[in-house]
């Protein structure tokens, strides 16, 4: 059981380049999330999705886009990379809303923009 898989694990981008961070889950979870973690800070919610075809902004959505065409996949797109987007990115999923539904996190993507 793979859980939540994120690729790549590490990436270095130049300013202005674009890339997609991939996130796939095999648990048939409806809810998926993207968080970023900056050094010395807690995780901040970027975007989330409550099901295929439905996405919504979190606390820090600027500079990012998402799509949810399938239940399994929730890619995060950076169009014009900026140094402020240097961070560790975590994808998470859960079956539903409510404290009984625990979150499953991926192992993260470490992104550096230079």
Q: Which is nearer to another protein, 100 or 114 (CB)?
A: 100
Least distance CB 93 / another protein (angstroms): 11
Residue with tokens 């900056």: 38
4 part of the interface to another protein, by CB under 8 A: yes
Q: Check residue 36 for interaction with another protein (CB under 8 A).
A: no
Q: Interior CA angle at 11 toward 49 and 35, to 5°?
A: 25
d(CA 107, CA 88): 10
Site for another protein in 41-100 (CB under 8 A): 41-43, 45, 48, 50, 58-59, 90, 92, 97-100
Residue 76 and residue 64: Cα distance in Å, rounded? 7
To which residue do tokens 């923009």 refer? 113
Name the token pair of 108. Answer: 């993260």
Which residues of this chain interact with another protein, rule CB under 8 A?
A: 3-4, 31, 33, 35, 37, 40-43, 45, 48, 50, 58-59, 90, 92, 97-108
């Amino acid at each position: 059981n793979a859980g939540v898989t994120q690729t790549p694990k590490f990436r270095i981008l130049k300013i202005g380049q674009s890339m997609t961070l991939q996130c796939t889950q095999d648990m048939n979870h409806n809810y998926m999330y993207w968080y970023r973690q900056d050094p010395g800070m807690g995780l901040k919610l970027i975007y989330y999705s409550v099901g295929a075809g439905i996405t919504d902004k979190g606390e820090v959505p600027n500079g990012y886009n998402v799509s949810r065409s399938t239940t399994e996949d929730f890619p995060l797109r950076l169009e014009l990379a900026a140094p402020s987007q240097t961070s560790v990115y975590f994808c998470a999923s859960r079956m539903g809303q409510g404290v009984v539904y625990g979150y499953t996190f991926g192992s993260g993507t470490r992104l550096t923009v230079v």
